[in-house]
Chains A and B, each alone.
Chain A
Amino acid sequence: MRNYIIKRLFYSVIIAWGILTVTFVLLRIGPTSPVDRYILNIAAKGQNVESVKQAIEARYGLDKPLIEQYFTYLGNLLQGNWGWSFSTSMPVLELIGSHWIYSFQLILLATIFAIVLGISIGMLSAVKQNTKFDYAASIFSFIGISIPGFWLGLMLILVFAVQLGIFKTYYDTNYPIWSLENLKQLILPVMALGIGELAGYVRYTRSAMLDNLRKEFVTTARAKGLSERTVIGKHVFRNAILPLVTIIMFDLGSIVFGGAYLTEIVFGIPGLGQVSFNAIFANDYAVVVAITLIGTFLVLLLNLGTDVVYTYLDPRIRYD
């Protein structure tokens, strides 16, 4: 077990390093340049663009050979220096530090929302198979996985914020994170972000429950005279839910880097998604690399964690 974890951690570091290198190289070999964003203003004021360009490149060390920049960056990183974000003019780590909480709360709440509702609806659906509730849940889940989250977000704003005025049209960072107002203003974003996962979990839970209901141990349990509640709650549910953990972990990865960003844009939440994509548009490689690196490493660790937890939950699984 211990060896397994060490091996996996080693793999994770290798993978993270690979991703770092790819991101770094991609951002620095393209035809776009970090100086592009300055050019318009400088040219419009009649200044000499070429000399300004050279000056800015020299200022941020972009004039050195790519390979040298890469090793300088790696060296700094190993010493714990994440670099300077020239597009926002602050240290990368500080930038991430002041924005992560907005992404984190959104992702956390959306995941909880999806898991709790998804599993409950899925279970009910399975227990009440072929009833009206089951059909309604089934239609709902199809709609949920098919609706584009960013569009749903726009529509939610249009209806609930613009037309009905129940919510603010934008996310207000003046409310403390731990406040009811903050929770309230997260309702729409959480719905827009979580609905796809929620629908997926409904479908999964339902079919897994039905599968397990047919299994022999259920018949045995029922034969033993256990109450229906115990049979479903304890035996069926536990067996059905285990594989869902993997699915949730897998979804987390795509939420962190896809859906959350679009939701942040639509609702104006200043999370890491917005930060990293703005950094891409500004060619601010230090930020892009750092966020990608931290994000993937977290996902890798989560995966490892899940696998380890599995061995406790399901004694049949063993890693060597």
Chain B
Amino acid sequence: MNLKYARSGWKLIIASLLTLSTLVGCSAPVAKGVFIEGDVTGGEAETLNWILAADASSFGYVGYTLESLATYDNQFNIQMRCLARDIEVSSDGLVYTVTLRNDLKWSDDSQVTADDYVYTLKNLMFSDWLNYNYRDDWKEEVNGQKVFVTPSVINNTTFTITRQTVDPEFIYTLYDLIPYPKYISSKYEGNVAAFTQAKEFNELSYTGNLGPYKFKEWLRNDKFVVERNPDFFLGKESGAPFFSEYVIKMFGTSAVMQGALEAGDITYCGIEPPNVPKFKKLDRINVYTVPTRGYNLISYNQRANGWEGLRKKEVRQAVSMAIDKDTIVQKMYLGFAEPAFSFIPSSSPWYSEENVVKFGVAPLTGKQKAMEQLKAAGYDYTNNGDRTVLMDKNGKPVKLILVTTPGSDIVESMSLLIKQELSDIGIEVEVKMVQWPTLLRQYMMNKAPGSDEEPRYNNGPQAVSEEPWDLALMGHNTDPLAPSGSSVFFASDGGLNSFGFFNNEIDALFKKVKSRAALDRDDRKTIYIELARVMSEEQPVDFIVFTRANRGFQKNVKGIEPGINMGYNYYLWRFE
């Protein structure tokens, strides 16, 4: 919907120095006009004091004023032009050396140094008093203990991060790093209330020349406004950015927002599938259809309080065959999606179709095939009136509970479609709509029955959730660049493996991809190909579809490169 999703979470925007110099060559344009991006109210940021935030929007808002260390383009080519001049990984994959640009300034004109970064990591992000929400990203497992990586200052513009174990994908976490100014933060150190309420952080008044824009105004539920930063470190030669203001305008409904785009009141917003043809016909609007990171899946509960059939691979495959992915693509997304078979999307550099078993699309789809496979797995059908009914091992009709959350029309429709398709193969499905917190607490969290352990999302094979369930329809985000992050769902010790999938082959592959064996890109790709194959065959969950987004711009915006990270060069966009 929002550009910040076009970028990777809060990953910032970079154009290669090459692009920049060609741009400088063709006369520097002047900054003019206000770029207005539309967003729906629910997507508003929590806070500009990003270290306290849990949502992507907060990092996105901050990103307009403060660049990260590095970023990548639509093809995931790494672009070194943000705050880091260079990031080097030692040949053993353990030491990361970051060299900063030397022209970076805080608002008090003091230089941004390696010390600011190391301070941010050690004293803020790793601290106990502040409790950064995502600090686990900076931990590694050593001898069964989770420990933080070690940052250290080398000189004014160089710092290193030293790990004890190899993780080829840790570098992407590093790219996203943004600093807090030590000269301000140290005033609040240890006092969480003062830090939370510090005006400097909540109004981003320290960002100096570190981003294309400066914070101007944030009227909650209405608009977030940043204004052109004349000191932007990349602006001296190119004159960037070229908008005098960049505004994120909030709308109550997406319908009103699209109306505003049509009327020319805003510059850019997401367009919902039914409206795409109409907008494509408009002369004033460009619509780009781009891949996203979002996908839908149905978890199969393989714990003791789910249907025992789901613990068998053959049964899961049969159910997946009954759910036709092309139908979902056509009916739910009006074509703006593509079937998924693992958590690696086709936009990922690690994607390959090799050996992937495609359940849910022709030829591995259909009522007949699903029923035959269920029979082969040892389940019988009986006729009950005009209906065929699948019987479980105790001779009772199989009845499954599908849980999902209300609020999204597509998800609600999809659960109804799944109910219908499973009823066609003789399985009755009861759809339960519960709010997120309830879904998490009563269905996803689990513990061994009768024990007094703290409920967690994965408390081992013995654990079960409070309420019984069989299928859970959910939406997830993947990381095309580092798909191994999905191990939290699919590895035996994965913290969010709430559906209880335990498979040694998968565990070994996840371990391998986060080790020395995957340092070489070709080796890593081989591992991912194997991972995708095993996933598609094992069907721990039914991956349904990866969605496509439609982004509508006024035609007079120049410099857009459509793609999954299309916001990566947004600071070079301008009005014709």
Q: Do chains A and B touch in the complex (CB under 8 A)?
A: yes
Contact B134 A47 (CB under 8 A): yes
Does B176 sit within 8 A of A, measured CB to CB? no
Within B434-470, which residues are at the interface with A (CB < 8 Å)?
Answer: 436-437, 440, 444, 454, 456-457
Does A306 sit within 8 A of B, measured CB to CB? no
The 18 sampled A-B contact pairs (Cβ below 8 Å) are A38-B55, A39-B437, A41-B55, A44-B476, A45-B137, A46-B136, A46-B488, A46-B489, A52-B131, A84-B197, A86-B196, A89-B46, A89-B48, A169-B263, A170-B251, A170-B256, A275-B221, A278-B220
Contact A168 B263 (CB under 8 A): yes
Contact A32 B437 (CB under 8 A): yes
Contact A36 B437 (CB under 8 A): yes
Contact A47 B136 (CB under 8 A): yes
Does A99 sit within 8 A of B, measured CB to CB? yes
Task: For the complex, give the distance between the alpha carbons of A159 and B219 in Å.
Answer: 29
Contact B49 A173 (CB under 8 A): no
Point out the residues of chain B lying under 8 angstroms from A169, CB to CB. 256, 259-260, 263, 265
Q: Is the interface of A mostly helix, strand, loop or mixed?
A: helix
Interface size in chain B (residues, C-beta < 8 A): 47
Does B562 sit within 8 A of A, measured CB to CB? no
Task: For the complex, give the distance between the alpha carbons of A153 and B133 in Å.
Answer: 41
Does B222 sit within 8 A of A, measured CB to CB? yes
Contact B196 A89 (CB under 8 A): yes
Point out the residues of chain B lying under 8 angstroms from A311, CB to CB. none
Q: Which of A36, A55, A172, A270 contacts B436 (CB 8 A)?
A: A36
Q: Is the interface of B mostly helix, strand, loop or mixed?
A: mixed
Task: For the complex, give the distance between the alpha carbons of A37 and B53 in Å.
Answer: 11
Within B76-100, which residues are at the interface with A (CB < 8 Å)?
Answer: none
Point out the residues of chain B lying under 8 angstroms from A84, CB to CB. 193, 196-197
- Smallest CB-CB A-B distances: 5 pairs: A55-B131, A46-B488, A270-B222, A89-B47, A38-B54
Contact B252 A268 (CB under 8 A): yes
Within A116-163, which residues are at the interface with B (CB < 8 Å)?
Answer: 157, 161-162
Query: Which of A7-15, A90-98, A104-112, A236-244 is the interface stretch?
Result: A90-98
Task: For the complex, give the distance between the alpha carbons of A266 and B436 in Å.
Answer: 25
Task: For the complex, give the distance between the alpha carbons of A157 and B263 in Å.
Answer: 14
Does B503 sit within 8 A of A, measured CB to CB? no
Does A59 sit within 8 A of B, measured CB to CB? yes
Does B556 sit within 8 A of A, measured CB to CB? no
Residues of B at the A interface (CB closer than 8 Å) are 46-49, 52, 54-56, 131, 133-134, 136-137, 192-193, 196-197, 202, 219-223, 250-252, 256-257, 259-260, 263, 265, 436-437, 440, 444, 454, 456-457, 476-477, 485, 488-489, 494-496
Point out the residues of chain A lying under 8 angstroms from B440, CB to CB. 39-40, 43, 49
Task: For the complex, give the distance between the alpha carbons of A265 and B251 in Å.
Answer: 9
Task: For the complex, give the distance between the alpha carbons of A195 and B118 in Å.
Answer: 61
Q: Which of B49, B193, B485 contacts A46 (CB 8 A)?
A: B485
Contact B256 A50 (CB under 8 A): no
Point out the residues of chain B lying under 8 angstroms from A90, CB to CB. 202, 220
Contact B219 A270 (CB under 8 A): yes
Does A309 sit within 8 A of B, measured CB to CB? no
Point out the residues of chain B lying under 8 angstroms from A44, CB to CB. 476-477
Chain A 68-91 near chain B by CB (<8 Å), digits 1 or 0? 000000000000000010111111
Q: Which of B193, B259, B456, B489 contacts A50 (CB 8 A)?
A: B456
Contact A162 B259 (CB under 8 A): yes
Q: Which of B137, B220, B250 contacts A95 (CB 8 A)?
A: B220
Does A303 sit within 8 A of B, measured CB to CB? no
Point out the residues of chain A lying under 8 angstroms from B260, CB to CB. 168-170
Task: For the complex, give the distance between the alpha carbons of A42 and B250 in Å.
Answer: 24
Point out the residues of chain A lying under 8 angstroms from B251, CB to CB. 170, 268
Within A11-59, which residues are at the interface with B (CB < 8 Å)?
Answer: 32-33, 36-52, 55-56, 58-59
Contact B136 A48 (CB under 8 A): yes
Q: Which of A43, A270, A275 contacts B496 (CB 8 A)?
A: A43
Does A274 sit within 8 A of B, measured CB to CB? yes
Closest Cβ–Cβ distance, residue A182 to chain B (whole Å): 14
Point out the residues of chain A lying under 8 angstroms from B197, CB to CB. 84, 91
Point out the residues of chain B lying under 8 angstroms from A43, CB to CB. 440, 444, 457, 496
Contact B496 A46 (CB under 8 A): yes
Task: For the complex, give the distance between the alpha carbons of A38 and B259 in Å.
Answer: 31
Point out the residues of chain B lying under 8 angstroms from A168, CB to CB. 260, 263, 265
Among A38, A87, A170, residue most surrounded by chain B Cβ atoms (within 10 Å)? A170
Contact A165 B436 (CB under 8 A): no
Q: Which of B49, B192, B263, B457 contacts A49 (CB 8 A)?
A: B457
Point out the residues of chain B lying under 8 angstroms from A172, CB to CB. 265
Among A50, A84, A172, A268, residue most surrounded by chain B Cβ atoms (within 10 Å)? A268
Point out the residues of chain A lying under 8 angstroms from B137, CB to CB. 45
Point out the residues of chain A lying under 8 angstroms from B263, CB to CB. 165, 168-169
Q: Which of A39, A51, A268 contacts B256 (CB 8 A)?
A: A268
Point out the residues of chain A lying under 8 angstroms from B456, CB to CB. 50
Point out the residues of chain B lying under 8 angstroms from A162, CB to CB. 259
Q: Which of A41, A88, A265 contacts B56 (CB 8 A)?
A: A41
Point out the residues of chain B lying under 8 angstroms from A48, CB to CB. 136, 495
Task: For the complex, give the distance between the alpha carbons of A52 and B489 in Å.
Answer: 19
